[in-house]
A and B are shown apart, each in its own frame.
Chain A
Amino acid sequence: MSVLKLPPYASPLEKAWRVTYLVICAAILLFLIAPILIVIPLSFNAEPYFTFTRKMLSFDPAGYSMRWYDQILTFGMAAPGAPRNASWWLDVWENAKWVEAAQNSVIIGVSATLLATVLGTTAALGLSRPDMPFRRAIMGLLISPMIVPLIITATGLFFFYSETGLAHTYLGIIMAHATLGIPFVIITVTATLVGFDHSLTRAAANLGAPPPLIFFKVILPLILPGVISGALFAFVTSFDEVVVVLFVAGYDQQTLPRQMWNGIREQISPTILAVATILVIFSVALLATVELLRRRSERLRGLSPG
């Protein structure tokens, strides 16, 4: 009974409910994570199917292969059959569709994240000042890209960019993704600023620090955990965004989600599953690393004791 962590006076009904409750929790977690987990074994399928074959189910090694991972590299190459030496890898770097898409995704994601983080942090700082007029209205406006249906934002951007010449440019996609990322940065940084002791900025000014120095030496180090979380959300938003890219990007500006979209429509191949597996592992690693770094810096900065 100790597993249920119930007090000794719990009635049988309470015990029964406790068990039901734990089962429901497990079911919800399974429901959330199953579609992600199922992709992983399927990506090692030896056959070009999206289902488990008889061989896979009987754990026959012949049912599994790395061919779809190989396909990630070779798809789109000029000479995929050539011996795998330096020039073959150069061919991968320059011509493989998936590699090119990954390059674009990283360039766009990193740039959009930087832009969103800088703008979102400054906006959050301004909005946290008590003397800021129309705070709620401005906050609502800045958060709106998160609430407005993406397809509407995308359509609007498409017409706006067509007029201004930003369509089919990297700058256009980066700006669009930054717009989508800014709300996350604003929300996380604002949350961090709630507990911020404003007498620290006064103390810094009193000790002789001009405003820019106060920002970089006192405010920024203290709100850094919020900034990093916001930046992470902004990056992930850009990294898995497909709707705006479909509307705004040119044909040669493939990103990973767009390439996957194309893959589903044009050449139904389990390569997508291999890519998805890599992305899942990448995301988990990214989240874990940032969270560990954030905790470490919080401890070092003395925000939490020990």
Chain B
Amino acid sequence: MNEMTPMSPVRGERQGRASSVRFQNVQKSYDGEILVVKDLNLDIASGEFLTMLGPSGSGKTTALMMLAGFEPATHGEIFVNDSPINNVPPHKRGVGMVFQNYALFPHMSVAENLAFPLKVRKLGRGDIEARVARALAMVKMESFGGRRPVQLSGGQQQRIAVARALVFEPTLVLMDEPLGALDKQLREQMQYEIKHIHENLGVTVVYVTHDQTEALTMSDRIAVFNDGRIQQLSTPDRLYEKPENSFVAQFIGENNRLSGAITEVADAICTVSVDGGPTVKATKVVPGGRGTRTTLSIRPERIELAPAKGALPVVIPGRVEELIYLGDHVRVRMSVAGTDAFVVKVPNRVGRTLEPGHETTVGWDPEDCRALDEIAA
């Protein structure tokens, strides 16, 4: 990715010029009744790539719009570099933004689009041309300056939108589902490119998406939004491996759920009587003692099929219902503890020996099974 660093002369001067962001007790309501964002508190470090992830209507885009200045906060204060920005109009915030539909000016050429923020800032002609050329080189679109946006493909428009958001060297860049309109392959490629641009420039990026893979691939930290609140704010690996509530466990990655009640607590490990029959051990996350209702969450790849005797503390019986061949692995749908939607991922080699109707056992380490808050059925 070294050919992508024609902006590197700027890099030194830029590093340390990234902005930090702080949301403090921010609330937002459009109609004065329903809160779309409820008491948002969030610290974003300078130079961080933070992703706001959540289903539609979770308040993540509203939070971004408040940061960009397009929506006023109903309550609370937003700080950039420790200065409040609630009363700063959007055009004075100096924040770069990539819009969902790219929002390229159709009546201007690509180069004019890139020059727009520089002309507004009254830079000299030569300076503008040099910066536009550098920005085009950064997204590998050097020869496209004279084209109009309608003459570009979706992926090319996307690159220009990224270049335009960065060309005036903002210290904070917002991205609102920028890859949503691209096909899968292009999306993956752009994920890497955006990540590398972030690494090269060192700017702070606040990225909004509903695509968990995108969030896991690109982010330093992820804030999972639901119902106007941050459900969990962690690094991608912690978010996947140690979800703190059922929503996060369900929203990020695949997840087997078993409902039950806690019968015994011993430090971090609790014993849970699953509604479907067996009693198992799990890592206790949900607060409360004996009798607390809980939902157990286990990742399909952390379950072992027919483990050797004594190898795992938890082993319960199950029956193979269906095999789904997925190339590198096989998904086995099983009936376990009263549910027939229990999924185990096994390597292709092991999966071939299985057949539907096969009675076997499943086992796991209590470390990998988390007792979370109960999901209202």
Q: Which residues of A contact B (CB under 8 A)?
A: 197, 199-200, 202-211, 213, 217-218, 221-222, 300-303, 305
Chain B, 246-295, CB within 8 A of any chain A CB: none
Size range of the chain B interface in the assembly: 20 to 34
Residue ID in chain B nearest A302 by CB atoms: B148
Q: What 6 new A-B contacts, CB under 8 Å, besides A208-B117, A300-B107, A302-B151?
A: A203-B104, A204-B105, A204-B116, A207-B164, A217-B116, A302-B107
A102 to B284, CA, bound (A): 91
Tell which of B3-11, B52-60, B90-98 binds the partner: B90-98
Partner of A203, one of B93, B97, B121, B151: B97
- On whether the beta carbons of B103 and A202 are closer than 8 Å, the reply is yes
A302 to chain B, nearest CB (A): 4
Is residue B149 within 8 Å, beta carbon to beta carbon, of the partner chain? yes
Contacts of A211 in B (CB 8 A): 91
A303 to B148, CA, bound (A): 10
A203 to B174, CA, bound (A): 12
- On whether the beta carbons of B107 and A206 are closer than 8 Å, the reply is no
Chain B, 103-124, CB within 8 A of any chain A CB: 103-107, 116-117, 120-121
A40 to chain B, nearest CB (A): 41
- On whether the beta carbons of B101 and A206 are closer than 8 Å, the reply is no
Partner of B149, one of A205, A208, A209, A302: A302
A203 to B95, CA, bound (A): 11
Contacts A206-B90, A206-B97 known; A200 to B105 CB distance under 8 Å?
yes
- On whether the beta carbons of B151 and A206 are closer than 8 Å, the reply is no
- On whether the beta carbons of B103 and A213 are closer than 8 Å, the reply is no
Partner of A209, one of B99, B107, B116, B164: B116
Contacts of A208 in B (CB 8 A): 91-92, 94, 117, 120-121, 168
Contacts A205-B90, A302-B149 known; A199 to B99 CB distance under 8 Å?
yes
Q: Which residues of B contact A (CB under 8 A)?
A: 68-70, 89-97, 99-101, 103-107, 116-117, 120-121, 148-151, 164, 168
Residue ID in chain A nearest B89 by CB atoms: A205
- On whether the beta carbons of B101 and A303 are closer than 8 Å, the reply is no
Residue ID in chain B nearest A207 by CB atoms: B117
Contacts A203-B97, A208-B117, A210-B91 known; A305 to B107 CB distance under 8 Å?
no
A106 to B312, CA, bound (A): 95
- On whether the beta carbons of A203 and B103 are closer than 8 Å, the reply is yes
Contacts of B150 in A (CB 8 A): 302-303, 305
Residue ID in chain A nearest B116 by CB atoms: A207
A/B interface sample: 7 pairs, CB < 8 A: A204-B116, A206-B68, A207-B117, A208-B121, A211-B91, A301-B106, A303-B106
Contacts of B104 in A (CB 8 A): 203
- On whether the beta carbons of B107 and A303 are closer than 8 Å, the reply is yes
A205 to B100, CA, bound (A): 16
- On whether the beta carbons of B105 and A209 are closer than 8 Å, the reply is no
B5 to chain A, nearest CB (A): 24
A80 to chain B, nearest CB (A): 53
Contacts of A213 in B (CB 8 A): 120
- On whether the beta carbons of B101 and A197 are closer than 8 Å, the reply is yes
The 8 closest A-B pairs by CB, nearest first: A302-B148, A301-B107, A203-B103, A207-B117, A205-B90, A199-B103, A208-B120, A206-B97
A203 to chain B, nearest CB (A): 4
- On whether the beta carbons of A207 and B107 are closer than 8 Å, the reply is no
- On whether the beta carbons of A205 and B151 are closer than 8 Å, the reply is no
A204 to B151, CA, bound (A): 21
Residue ID in chain A nearest B117 by CB atoms: A207
Contacts A203-B99, A205-B90, A207-B116 known; A218 to B168 CB distance under 8 Å?
no
Residue ID in chain B nearest A213 by CB atoms: B120
Contacts of A200 in B (CB 8 A): 103, 105
B6 to chain A, nearest CB (A): 21
A199 to B151, CA, bound (A): 20
